[in-house]
A and B are shown apart, each in its own frame.
Chain A
Amino acid sequence: MASNSSSDRQRIAQQRLRIIAGHLRAPVDSDSTILAAECKAQGSKTDVSSERKTVPRRRQEILKWNGWGYSDTRFLFNKKGQAEFTGKRYRLSGMIIPALQNWFEGTFGASVQHKSPAMPILTSSAVQPPTLNEAFVDELKSTGIPCSHDAEDRVFRGHGHCLHEVFALREGKVGRVPDIVVWPNCHNDVVKIVELACKHNVCLIPYGGGTSVSSALECPPEETRCIVSLDTSQMNRILWIDEKNLTAHVEAGIVGQELERLLNESGYCTGHEPDSMEFSSLGGWVATRASGMKKNIYGNIEDLVVHVKMVTPQGVIEKGCQCPRMSTGPDIHHFIMGSEGTLGVVTEVTMKIRPMPEYQKYGSVVFPNFEQGVACLREVAKQRCAPASIRLMDNEQFKFGHALKPQVSSIFTSFLDGLKKFYITKFKGFDPDRLCVATLLFEGDREKVLQHEKQVYDIAAKFGGLAAGEDNGQRGYMLTFVIAYLRDLGMDYYVIGESFETSVPWDRVLDICRNVKARIIQECKDKGVQFSPLSTCRVTQTYDAGACVYFYFAFNYRGLSDPVHVYEQVEHAAREEILANGGSLSHHHGVGKLRKEWMRETISDVGMGMLKSVKNYVDPKNIFGNRNLI
């Protein structure tokens, strides 16, 4: 990527790339002088990441085996008790976060003196020896498709990122894991593997980015056959780009950031940015009906997919054309999307692409309270003028975001911060314990963005909202990417937590937020949690008829004999509360095995029967035996 290209298009492309990469790497809050300096540093960082093209077969080389994300990146409390974010990958990397310790200790009643460290390395003796189907392995080896039954490889693919999964790993506990891992390189490899699996009756579990939070990757303990984890990570090429139709044909193992990076090089993007996009894969998105942050412009995965190829035990399923819409009976894509690996492996996808946006702008609005904020979001949705992303954080999360402010470099900045705070709380009379903030991201051509921005701020003003600057907006989106790292920090100090989501009609948004948060607090109390938990939410997506709500929940587990069990009971109760308040079982995380018990009431008996009959036809021998969904 030449930085001094004369080509106009390349120049624009690079600018976009910077913006997107910047957003990806969660830029820090800063004043304008720092911002100017940052642009360069960011460019060079982007170059670094472009050297690495794929997720390696041995994922553990760059990723944590018992926590979230890159091995070199983590939060820690240094000797002075100050929080630090290590590594070089993110904007926040290498920075001190002075307020975090106070927030952490104050919110959870935890102490940086009380550590609960994880087991540093995996002892192979903890891993059951593999149950190998020799005939299958022999035939597989003869095809030349790489495979491994190394303990580390197997353990890595036996879990997602649910709290109980990571907690067990930190304690060095390993349950049933796949017996063998295979790395197909292309669609045909997958066809061969599935054929062999059917022939030898082994169980196949597709594995993409491993970011599942629904226990979808857990191996069913009752499975006695040899379990083969089919890791799609090596199928990561863009096979072609069709600029006439604005589509790209991509192998399903590609991870989000890689897909965007490669498309950006040609001046395009998909605009699909789920919070997990650093690690999650295209195939995984299709299999779970993923949703992206900027769906307001680009749509969710079901809007983006034009064509899908999936290998099933019955053969390959795909449509015979790449048409924008068809009236040909029920859309077979909807059997595939959300099938969660129970029917087959998605190998190739044709996706819509868009030219990269010319201009991007963050923004934020402070509201006197959450109710006003929700009313504003509802109005924005009603007028169908939602920016690329609009999210409303509640008061607790606003404070959380503030605790993540890195050390400011000048007295002037901190003075400005103080002034801002004074203006909002004293002059405008906002109660610091009630106010909440909406973060915004606008995208498009410059003129339209500015126009759009004005429209949204005008609506916000009607609901008592005050524009609160770009920094707050950026920091909000930064939280998205570092929150999972923060969970690992909490787990180092007796704090466990998780997020979960739902979608809900507009008239119930406030009720569900209040009731679910209160239920979490009450359940924690009832279950003997000593210190009141962090129970917070945000509205992350708006639709015509409703919104997506995200809950974060964490507590200090000192004094509990079985913290994970308590955690699971509370999460279970919270989900019941969600359903009782008219929320959905899931907006985009999927069902997996974690939420299976509620499927029947969610889609009715007949609905279950339909899904089961499809499964019975496509996979009568239950080769894709992860037992998700139904």
Chain B
Amino acid sequence: CGSLSKDPMLKKRDDFEDILEERRNSSDLKYALRCYTPVLYKGVTPCTSSMLKSMVLQSDQLHYVINQVSKETGKATDDIKEEASAILEEMAQCLQLSTVRFFAFTLSKAFKTLFRSICVNEDGIQRLQQAIQEHPVVLLPSHRSYMDFLLMSYILYTYDVALPVIAAGMDFMGMKFVGEMLRMSGAFFIRRSFGGDKLYWALFSEYVKTMLKNGFAPVEFFLEGTRSRTSKSLTPKLGLLNIVMDPFLKGEVFDVNVVPVSISYERVLEETLYARELLGIPKPKESTSGLFKARKILSEDYGSIHVYFGQPVSVRSLAQGKVNRCQFNLVPRHIPRRPSEDIASFVNDSAYRLVRAQEENMVLKPWVLVASLLLQYHHQNQAAGQKRGIALGELTAQAVWLRDLSRQYGAFLHWPDHIPPSEVVSSSLTLHRGLYVYTLKQHKELLSQAVILLSCASYRNQALHVFVRPALLALAIHTASSNQKQEVFNSFSFLRNMFSNEFILCPGATVQDFEEACYLLVKTGALQFTQQEVLVTERGHRTLAFLSTMLDPFLQGYQVKETLCNGCVMFCVQKGGCVHNSIQRSREHLRIGLKYMEVLSSDLQKNSLAALLRLGAVRKMKG
């Protein structure tokens, strides 16, 4: 994560342009039928989707694995080949321009009803176009909604950029008709888990690599693996990243350009769905009829979307000095091997770096700040047993304070400076009326109250990446036994380590993160450093209080988890079962009186359990 500039205030960001504006003023049909001639990779080998499949089936990699599987299982190679061909059939995309045009038309209609604007940084598009021409490209959008990949293809079509092929979960395949439509718009489908299946893995990785190496199309996938239900970036999944970096590491291409894309929704379509899921209500199965039923969302206002195409990152320059590519010299490259330690840690570091690059360019709306403030306010009230709202004037003043603070911390905040702050605050309240009204009334039913609080928390979470490092420091100062710098660092390091499943904290960057946090807090006048000690300034108390309160729900979540784990012997074999079990237990706890509803979030519980396992506080037992 070393590339971040020292002063986040100085980050240069491009301007946005609203692509819906033109849609509102000209014919959608013409737009869908217009001439589409994207710039391609200069080394492209022209081929069709079906040629791709046969290239994969004829590759050395696949031959090797087929023979291996045949030896292990005793099945005839021809049978395995047939099996392979069937798997590939199930997996492969068949990108067709006509389908894309269909989507371009229907999505235009839908987007115009749903969103006020879809803003895209055009400079980013230009950089992307350049990158596509030079090297194979991997697109890494953040993942907050099912909309993400349709939106990506829609934007790329609009700007005449090569359409990507997209790694999608098998769940979509279940949707009659829609699955095939998605396939024809460039999606290819992967099973969620295929751990031990050598054949599947070989087919899948070879398929992706073949498309990438030949410059067939940019390859798009979600580094986070799944939609983040909490709006917090998820710990990156490394499987696909490993696959797309492999051709570079093995010298099969000169370089691969990775482009992080940050998609920020003012209001996610799945807003309440997510909160319910977090509380343990299973997500509805993807189905065409479900989609049809969901059309009622068309009547609501989802604000605007900001899509920021980040700086293309060259895998070659990422790997410079970190990976010794000579390690592939002594074994034929088509024989599958576990990634060596240096490669595994390189891919892991890169993944974190890329997720942070996504986070950095996420646009924050004023509501995110307002939600953070309201949540803190709500909890304080609750603790004090009071049941009253907050004056708009006071809220505005606090929001302005937080606005300035977050800007100093480098947040990509879209706060309309030409409008008086009070109007900004009230208009963002209007958009999210559904949430705050209930927040302020104390709702009777526990579940629906939790849904609302978790939804609010998910907005606050959007800003977490801006505050997390200073907040960890604030918490560290709070919990450290003394003001000694070393003590504070130790405490910071402990907290950071504990929360490393929760937030995107680059592995091995503790010192850097500590320094960054210190720098920010000193810069904003909240802290002073003497030779040995860390001192909180007069005006720093407010900042520090805000920051540590921000992490409070998480802290409590981990504490609850710990007490729970201490208190009971775990019989559960499966982690899933265990989480479920503990959710029920937390509910019991809640009756005893728990400050934060968020503790109920299955995401938080999963993360905390993982952290406790990692730290050795809890052991998994079999039987």
Q: A residues touching B (Cβ–Cβ < 8 Å)?
A: 507-508, 511-512, 514-515, 518-519, 579-582, 601
Q: When the two chains form their complex, are residues A581 and B325 in contact, meaning their CB atoms are under 8 A apart?
A: yes
Does chain A have a CB within 8 A of B328?
A: yes
Q: When the two chains form their complex, are residues B328 and A582 in contact, meaning their CB atoms are under 8 A apart?
A: yes
Q: With a 10 A CB-CB cut-off, give which of B254, B255, B332 has the most chain A CB atoms.
A: B254
Residues of chain A within 8 A of B239, CB atoms compared? none
Q: When the two chains form their complex, are residues B254 and A508 in contact, meaning their CB atoms are under 8 A apart?
A: no
A512 to B254, CA, bound (A): 9
Q: When the two chains form their complex, are residues B254 and A580 in contact, meaning their CB atoms are under 8 A apart?
A: no
Residues of chain B within 8 A of A582, CB atoms compared? 251, 326, 328-329
Please list 6 pairs of residues, one from A and one from B, whose beta carbons are closer than 8 Å in the complex, sorted by A's number. A507-B332, A507-B333, A579-B326, A580-B324, A582-B328, A582-B329
Q: When the two chains form their complex, are residues B254 and A519 in contact, meaning their CB atoms are under 8 A apart?
A: yes
Residues of chain A within 8 A of B333, CB atoms compared? 507
Closest CB-CB distance, B55 to chain A, in whole Å? 14
Contact among A507, A515, A579, A601 with B254 in the assembled complex (CB-CB below 8 Å): A515
Contact among A507, A518, A580, A601 with B325 in the assembled complex (CB-CB below 8 Å): A580
Contacts of B324-377 to chain A: CB distance below 8 A: 324-326, 328-329, 332-333
Q: When the two chains form their complex, are residues A601 and B326 in contact, meaning their CB atoms are under 8 A apart?
A: yes
Does chain A have a CB within 8 A of B252?
A: yes
Q: When the two chains form their complex, are residues B251 and A508 in contact, meaning their CB atoms are under 8 A apart?
A: yes
Q: When the two chains form their complex, are residues A514 and B254 in contact, meaning their CB atoms are under 8 A apart?
A: yes
Q: When the two chains form their complex, are residues B251 and A515 in contact, meaning their CB atoms are under 8 A apart?
A: yes
Q: When the two chains form their complex, are residues B332 and A581 in contact, meaning their CB atoms are under 8 A apart?
A: no
Q: When the two chains form their complex, are residues B326 and A580 in contact, meaning their CB atoms are under 8 A apart?
A: yes
The interface bits of chain B over 52-68 (1 if a CB of A lies within 8 angstroms of the residue's CB, else 0) are 00000000000000000
A511 to B326, CA, bound (A): 14
A581 to B248, CA, bound (A): 10
Closest CB-CB distance, B220 to chain A, in whole Å? 24
Contacts of B133-158 to chain A: CB distance below 8 A: none
Q: B residues touching A (Cβ–Cβ < 8 Å)?
A: 43, 251-252, 254-255, 324-326, 328-329, 332-333
A507 to B332, CA, bound (A): 9
Closest CB-CB distance, B248 to chain A, in whole Å? 10
A410 to B324, CA, bound (A): 57
Residue of A nearest to B250 (CB): A511
Residues of chain B within 8 A of A601, CB atoms compared? 326
A581 to B325, CA, bound (A): 7
A512 to B255, CA, bound (A): 13
Residue of B nearest to A514 (CB): B254
Residues of chain B within 8 A of A514, CB atoms compared? 43, 254
Residues of chain A within 8 A of B255, CB atoms compared? 518
Residues of chain A within 8 A of B252, CB atoms compared? 511
A515 to B328, CA, bound (A): 15
Q: With a 10 A CB-CB cut-off, give which of B255, B328, B329, B333 has the most chain A CB atoms.
A: B329
Residues of chain B within 8 A of A580, CB atoms compared? 251, 324-326
Closest CB-CB distance, B46 to chain A, in whole Å? 12
Closest CB-CB distance, B134 to chain A, in whole Å? 9
A319 to B255, CA, bound (A): 51
Closest CB-CB distance, B385 to chain A, in whole Å? 65
Residue of A nearest to B60 (CB): A507
The 9 A-B pairs at the shortest CB distance, nearest first, are namely A580-B325, A518-B254, A581-B251, A582-B329, A511-B251, A515-B254, A515-B251, A511-B252, A580-B326
Residues of chain B within 8 A of A518, CB atoms compared? 254-255
5 more A-B residue pairs beyond the given contacts A507-B332, A519-B254, A582-B329, with a C-beta to C-beta distance below 8 A: A507-B333, A518-B255, A580-B251, A582-B328, A601-B326
A507 to B251, CA, bound (A): 11
A518 to B316, CA, bound (A): 12
Residue of A nearest to B334 (CB): A507
Closest CB-CB distance, A575 to chain B, in whole Å? 12
A403 to B326, CA, bound (A): 38
A275 to B326, CA, bound (A): 30
Residue of A nearest to B327 (CB): A580
Residues of chain A within 8 A of B43, CB atoms compared? 514
A582 to B250, CA, bound (A): 9
Residue of A nearest to B329 (CB): A582
Q: When the two chains form their complex, are residues B332 and A512 in contact, meaning their CB atoms are under 8 A apart?
A: no
Closest CB-CB distance, A56 to chain B, in whole Å? 46
Residue of A nearest to B314 (CB): A522
Residues of chain A within 8 A of B328, CB atoms compared? 582
Closest CB-CB distance, A607 to chain B, in whole Å? 15
Closest CB-CB distance, B131 to chain A, in whole Å? 14
Q: When the two chains form their complex, are residues A512 and B326 in contact, meaning their CB atoms are under 8 A apart?
A: no
Closest CB-CB distance, A463 to chain B, in whole Å? 15
A515 to B135, CA, bound (A): 12
Residue of B nearest to A519 (CB): B254
Q: With a 10 A CB-CB cut-off, give which of B43, B251, B326, B329 has the most chain A CB atoms.
A: B251
A557 to B255, CA, bound (A): 26
A185 to B500, CA, bound (A): 77
Closest CB-CB distance, B143 to chain A, in whole Å? 33
A511 to B252, CA, bound (A): 6
Residues of chain B within 8 A of A512, CB atoms compared? 251
A224 to B324, CA, bound (A): 38
Residues of chain A within 8 A of B329, CB atoms compared? 582
Residue of B nearest to A584 (CB): B329
Residues of chain B within 8 A of A508, CB atoms compared? 251
Closest CB-CB distance, B79 to chain A, in whole Å? 28
Residues of chain B within 8 A of A511, CB atoms compared? 251-252
Closest CB-CB distance, B367 to chain A, in whole Å? 44
Residues of chain B within 8 A of A519, CB atoms compared? 254
A435 to B329, CA, bound (A): 30
A507 to B326, CA, bound (A): 15
Residue of A nearest to B248 (CB): A515
